[in-house]
Structure 1
Amino acid sequence: MAFGSSSGITSLGFNQDQGCFSACLKSGLRVYNVDPLVEKTHYNIDEIGRVSICEMIYRTNWLLIVKSCSPSILRILDDGQRTFTAEVHFKSPIRAIRARIDRVAVVLSSTVQVLALPTLERISLLRIPSNTRPLCSMSLSNDVEALQLIAAPAHRTGSVQLMDISRTVVGSMSSSPAVLGCHQSQLACFTLSGDGLKLATASERGTVIRLWDTDKKTKLYELRRGSDYAKVYCISFNVSGSLVCSVSDKGTMHLWHAQGPYAHVAVAPYVSPDDRRRARAACAFSGDSVVQTHVCNNALFFMAICVINLVLYYFTVVSNNGSFHKFRFSLESRTCYKTEFEYIMQVGDDVDFVQ
């Protein structure tokens, strides 16, 4: 059963450890666990209203909520108590939010404001061009030695500004960001690795993903996605920052090494050609596993049994047509195949969410 536009899904987003995702619906809100795919919580429209944006805070009870009826108010929802615990008002509509355990970045029409959690006090501000896409990313590590960066569009076309938010305190002026020229055309998507050491960017052309060293402010590699223009919807690093994946309006998921120029290692379709331009999607890595493979070598009547550890990588694509896809990939064998497919609207027993 295909859902397409009838799924009622208006936006999707993975949490910071990529093990859960939220789905904002015309009829409420749902939160899912990835492995296994189960519904963790849901709210219907009578309980919460229509939600336009939801950002999870890891696997805590906190959900950051923006309602369609009040797009200038950010609220913290405590799912354990099923009640709002704090809110903050802005002068313009909230276009996007990105969070880590202690901070949330709120993308407005011409600024990105960084707030402390859970107090929602403003600690930093970046000015962005008003005609750009609502893009933002933050590094996630809480290690005091790790980079704590925020990335946002700069005023120069195709550029990203990077600012260290570990040195900001409540009520202080923001430090000057560093500007990194990434593309000649407008940015379509970008993301920081969890440790903040790498930045992956894509322009509106969508033919390449570029990786950048955020410390030296230099380009590391250029990863070829394809020769045709494409709208890149999402870019994601795995936890270690060694792999990167992306999805686009071509209906395919691409996977690369994040450590070399000739790094394309897998490509897999996740929607049919007829649906691909209508089905926006989000992608994420959903954990690695190690399996032991026994290999027998018989040379000159001498048989040796070798034990080889194969690392299997799992990545997930969720589309706003309601489809959930999980893939498994082995770098050693270069094999990639789909291990799971579901329609998320059929997960759980509350059919009232189906439009």
Structure 2
Amino acid sequence: MNVHKPLNSKSTTRARLLCAAFNQDQECFAVGHERGFQVYNTDPMERRVRRDFSDGGIGIVQMLHRTNYLALVGGGRSPKYPQNKVIIWDDLKNIAALSLEFLSPVLQVLLSRTRIVVCLKSKIYVYVFSSPPVRLSVYETVDNPNGICAMQNNKLVFPGLTEGQVQIVDLSPQGHDRNLISIVRAHKGKIKCLAISHDGSLIASASETGTIIRIHSTANTALVHEFRRGIDRAVIHSLSFSPSSKRLALLSDKDTLHVFDTSPLSESSNRRHILSKVPLLPRYFSGEWSFVSTRISDQRIGRGILGWASDDAIIIIWTFEGLLEKYAIQEKPDVGTRRKSSPSGNDSPVGPNSIGALNDGPSEQWELVRTSWRTFDDL
């Protein structure tokens, strides 16, 4: 069964993109396609590695920082490797250095300098990054067909055994010896998207409803922020923390890009409802809304993958269209001019028919501007 189908089905001589993923610091990213994989610098976008295979495509590719090691899983119309097999590729020697085989298709692979994490539909396998790899742990999860998991700084997060739960595992030697595992009751519904900050201190989660995004501390599982994207359902395609972890970007099927401030509540510039300080009101009124958002131009098709070039520059990779876009967070030229409506493209319920009104101050100071874009014509 081929679970990594092409996401770009346009008629073109260019190889169809199957996947894309940023490395751990988001300064590079890799794409897999029907004929191999490529590695690029993020900003400016510049190709660094090109590997073409004559015998099939790559459906999952993950980098290990800027080293010569990558994790590969076959995909596309003619997969290079079986889709139940993970290959650790040594690009310096141009060979498959290690391999791991499973009884079901691999949905995601994560790498650190000491760990290999493999996500299946209902299990997470953790290995020591060694030759040969040594299995450390196996974790059961709720049904997870999208391979949702994330890892940074020895913190691994993935859906728990119950819908709405997020499991946090400390993969450091000390954490493994003490079996440090935490459970966060993040949502009522099934987890749809997860992200973890670069220092591993914060996790962001969204459920299938897609209206609320919650930020929890990995140290004590405390709720740090509760963000509201809107009041109507949406599919959250991607969440990503900025390099400093002070901002969180969100991309949904509403064709809207949101950015939230993840600073402490007292310092946050996110918008709030005018009734947010009134006690005993429903939680809707106390939620935080994005401080800036924009509607993505020329409705994109399929799933976009978010990354950051800096704390003020967001990168979106559109695998279906083979396109990279860069959006800059900029202060408006005349911040003294306040519009009475929400920022362009915000799918938040602001207006005469909305429930109450938001404090619009911070959102009127900033805007998201598409500053550059480039297609993957060199595949």
TM-score range, shorter chain: 0.7 to 0.9
Q: Distance in 1 between matches of 2:145 and 2:8?
A: 28
Is 2:79 the counterpart of 1:56?
no
Q: What SS does the corresponding residue of 2:173 show, helix, strand or coil? A: coil
Q: Percent identity?
A: 25
Is 2:46 the counterpart of 1:34?
no
Q: Name the structure 2 match of 1:318.
A: 317
Q: Distance in 1 between matches of 2:53 and 2:127?
A: 28
Q: How far has the Cα of 1:97 moved from its partner? A: 1.1
Matches within 5 A, 1:327-338: 327-330=327-330, 334-338=366-370
Q: Name the structure 1 match of 2:141.
A: 128
In structure 1, stretches of 5+ residues that fail to align are 141-147, 289-312
Match of 1:114 among 126, 130, 135: 126
Q: Name the structure 2 match of 1:80.
A: 92
Q: Name the structure 1 match of 2:335.
A: none
Describe the shift of the 1:216–1:176 C-alpha distance in structure 2 as closer, same or farther (beyond 3 A). Answer: closer
Q: Distance in 2 between matches of 1:132 and 1:63?
A: 23
Describe the shift of the 1:86–1:158 C-alpha distance in structure 2 as closer, same or farther (beyond 3 A). Answer: same
Q: What SS does the corresponding residue of 1:5 show, helix, strand or coil? A: coil
Matches within 5 A, 1:41-190: 41-46=49-54, 49-68=56-75, 69=79, 70-119=82-131, 120-130=133-143, 132-140=145-153, 148-167=154-173, 175=179, 177-190=181-194
After superposition, give the CA deviation of every residue in 1:222-269 in whole Å (9 maximum; x if it has no partner).
112122211111111112211111112222221110123635122133
Q: Distance in 1 between matches of 2:139 and 2:331?
A: 39
Q: Distance in 2 between matches of 1:195 and 1:331?
A: 27
Match of 1:280 among 291, 303, 314: 303
Q: What SS does the corresponding residue of 2:9 show, helix, strand or coil? A: helix
Structure 1 ranges of 4+ moved more than 3 A: 130-133, 260-263, 330-333
Amino acid at match of 2:314: F
Q: What SS does the corresponding residue of 1:109 show, helix, strand or coil? A: coil
Bigger mean CA deviation after superposition, 81-90 or 154-163: 81-90
Q: Name the structure 2 match of 1:342.
A: 374
Amino acid at match of 1:326: K
Amino acid at match of 1:269: R
Q: Name the structure 2 match of 1:220.
A: 224
Q: What SS does the corresponding residue of 1:129 show, helix, strand or coil? A: coil
Q: Distance in 2 between matches of 1:131 and 1:258?
A: 27
Amino acid at match of 2:84: S
Q: How far has the Cα of 1:77 moved from its partner? A: 1.1
Q: Name the structure 1 match of 2:276.
A: none
Q: Distance in 2 between matches of 1:322 and 1:252?
A: 19
Q: What SS does the corresponding residue of 2:99 show, helix, strand or coil? A: strand
Describe the shift of the 1:118–1:281 C-alpha distance in structure 2 as closer, same or farther (beyond 3 A). Answer: farther
Q: How far has the Cα of 1:174 moved from its partner? A: 8.6
Q: Distance in 2 between matches of 1:185 and 1:99?
A: 28
Describe the shift of the 1:118–1:246 C-alpha distance in structure 2 as closer, same or farther (beyond 3 A). Answer: farther
Q: Distance in 2 between matches of 1:331 and 1:188?
A: 32
- Contact kept in structure 2, 1:72 and 1:92, CA below 8 Å: yes
After superposition, give the CA deviation of every residue in 1:274-312 in whole Å (9 maximum; x if it has no partner).
xx4x32110011124xxxxxxxxxxxxxxxxxxxxxxxx
Amino acid at match of 2:140: R
TM-score (norm: length of structure 1): 0.80
Higher relative contact order (CA 8 A, sep 6+): 1
Q: Distance in 1 between matches of 2:112 and 2:91?
A: 18
Q: Distance in 2 between matches of 1:201 and 1:230?
A: 14
Match of 1:265 among 286, 291, 298: 291
Q: What SS does the corresponding residue of 2:142 show, helix, strand or coil? A: coil
Amino acid at match of 1:97: V
After superposition, give the CA deviation of every residue in 1:121-168 in whole Å (9 maximum; x if it has no partner).
22222111235531111123xxxxxxx321111111111111111136
Describe the shift of the 1:249–1:45 C-alpha distance in structure 2 as closer, same or farther (beyond 3 A). Answer: farther
> How many residues are matched?
308
Bigger mean CA deviation after superposition, 116-125 or 88-97: 116-125
Q: Name the structure 2 match of 1:10.
A: 18
- Contact kept in structure 2, 1:257 and 1:264, CA below 8 Å: yes
Q: Distance in 2 between matches of 1:110 and 1:173?
A: 24
User: Going by fraction, where is strand more abundant, 1 or 2?
Assistant: 1
Amino acid at match of 1:93: P
Describe the shift of the 1:256–1:66 C-alpha distance in structure 2 as closer, same or farther (beyond 3 A). Answer: same
Amino acid at match of 1:279: G
In structure 2, stretches of 5+ residues that fail to align are 1-6, 266-286, 333-364
- Contact kept in structure 2, 1:200 and 1:209, CA below 8 Å: yes
TM-score (norm: length of structure 2): 0.75
- Contact kept in structure 2, 1:223 and 1:262, CA below 8 Å: yes
- Contact kept in structure 1, 2:142 and 2:163, CA below 8 Å: no
Q: What SS does the corresponding residue of 1:283 show, helix, strand or coil? A: strand
